[in-house]
């Protein structure tokens, strides 16, 4: 099956919601009496494929299950049922600079993050100058990360992720980092990655950007694949639907977003 970069087959994911907050033995014992928690079916049988060198954009409203899907592809979650096959090395850009340690310098964090993403130490050390140059941090890279601005952290995170020779990039709304100039540069880097035959799966709300780089769109609604096709087919339909949702009945009770559960 290695003719495809990503094969997602009938994947389901349900989250259990614990309404009481604290994780403690006390809560567990209280639950014992009336064990009830809400479940949330975030993904209900999603299937799609991404070929090598393809760029697929996933669209959908907040809470449709996009970020959960990306989390599954990045192996942060395991599906409850169904299978996910990935052929190639994945660099997930889910949250830039998530793994940085504030007390270590940018340079030390480069090594650590690059090794997590699959480089060897030697390779990571060799790449460092290139990464530093791309991130435009200059000598600041020797200062502890806690002294960085959020833009600097994001720039460094992005620079690392695109320099680890991944085969597949998984991108979650991170193309809007840094100032205009840096955005242009990171966009260029993504396109360069594509031209070299890399596979990209991205989530974005930025229609213009998706039209520019995506070959195909997958529209996810209520945890299922609603439509699949070229950006020109999907995006107008998706935008029209979003607009009619907005104009139509006032938004009902706010749905809890799947991807944010963990951090809540």
The DSSP secondary-structure symbol of 138 reads G
Query: Is residue 147 near another protein by the rule CB under 8 A?
Result: no
State which of residues 10, 81, 89, 101 lies at the interface with another protein (CB under 8 A): 101
Neighbours of 186 (CB within 10 A): 23
Query: Is residue 98 near another protein by the rule CB under 8 A?
Result: yes
Query: Is residue 83 near another protein by the rule CB under 8 A?
Result: no
User: Is 95 or 179 the residue whose CB approaches another protein more closely?
Assistant: 95
Query: Is residue 111 near another protein by the rule CB under 8 A?
Result: yes
Structure tokens at 80: 């409850």
Query: Is residue 263 near another protein by the rule CB under 8 A?
Result: yes
State which of residues 41, 108, 165, 228 lies at the interface with another protein (CB under 8 A): 108
State which of residues 23, 39, 248, 250 lies at the interface with another protein (CB under 8 A): 23
Q: Where are the alpha helices (DSSP H) in 51-202?
A: 66-73, 106-116, 121-135, 150-161, 180-195
Instruction: Please state, in angstroms and rounded to a whole number, the distance separating the CA atoms of residues 188 and 165.
Output: 16
User: Is 120 or 176 the residue whose CB approaches another protein more closely?
Assistant: 120
Neighbours of 135 (CB within 10 A): 24
Q: Where are the alpha helices (DSSP H) in the chain?
A: 25-33, 66-73, 106-116, 121-135, 150-161, 180-195, 207-213, 231-247
User: Is 99 or 129 the residue whose CB approaches another protein more closely?
Assistant: 99
The DSSP secondary-structure symbol of 80 reads S
Size of the site for another protein (CB under 8 A): 35
Query: Is residue 255 near another protein by the rule CB under 8 A?
Result: no
Query: Is residue 87 near another protein by the rule CB under 8 A?
Result: no
Pairing of strands 38-51, 4-17: antiparallel
Query: Is residue 260 near another protein by the rule CB under 8 A?
Result: no
Q: With contact defined as beta carbons under 8 Å apart, do 157 and 98 qualify?
A: yes
Residue 95 CB, nearest approach to another protein (Å): 5
Distances (CA, A) of 42 to 46, 72, 143, 175, 256: 10, 12, 41, 25, 10
The one segment of 24-32, 191-199, 202-210, 239-247 that binds another protein by CB under 8 A: 24-32
Q: With contact defined as beta carbons under 8 Å apart, do 106 and 134 qualify?
A: no
Residue 115 CB, nearest approach to another protein (Å): 5
Query: Is residue 30 near another protein by the rule CB under 8 A?
Result: no
Positions touching another protein (CB under 8 A) are 15-18, 23-26, 28, 71, 74-78, 92, 94-95, 98-99, 101, 103-104, 108, 111-112, 115-117, 119-121, 261-263
């Amino acid at each position: 099956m290695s003719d495809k970069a990503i094969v997602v087959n009938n994947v389901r994911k349900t989250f259990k919601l614990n309404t009481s907050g604290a994780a403690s033995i006390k809560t567990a014992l209280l639950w014992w009496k009336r064990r009830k928690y809400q479940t949330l079916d975030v993904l209900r049988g999603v299937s799609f494929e991404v070929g090598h060198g393809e760029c697929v954009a996933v669209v959908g409203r907040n809470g449709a299950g996009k970020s959960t899907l990306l989390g599954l592809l990045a192996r942060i979650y395991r599906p409850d049922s169904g299978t996910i096959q990935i052929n190639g090395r994945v660099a997930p850009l889910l949250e830039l600079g998530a793994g940085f340690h504030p007390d270590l310098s940018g340079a030390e964090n480069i090594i650590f993050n690059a090794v997590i993403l699959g480089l060897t130490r030697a390779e990571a050390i060799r790449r460092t100058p290139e990464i530093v140059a791309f991130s435009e941090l200059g000598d600041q890279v020797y200062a502890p990360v806690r002294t960085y601005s959020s833009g600097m952290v994001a720039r460094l995170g992005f620079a690392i992720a695109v320099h680890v020779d991944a085969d597949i990039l998984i991108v979650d709304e991170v193309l809007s980092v840094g100032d205009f100039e840096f955005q242009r540069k990171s966009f260029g880097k993504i396109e360069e990655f594509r031209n070299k035959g890399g596979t990209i799966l991205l989530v974005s709300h930025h229609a213009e950007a998706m039209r520019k780089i995506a070959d195909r769109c997958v529209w996810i609604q209520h945890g299922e694949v609603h439509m699949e096709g070229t950006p020109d087919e999907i995006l107008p339909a998706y935008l029209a639907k979003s607009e009619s949702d907005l104009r139509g009945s006032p938004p009902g009770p706010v749905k809890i977003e799947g991807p944010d559960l963990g951090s809540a």
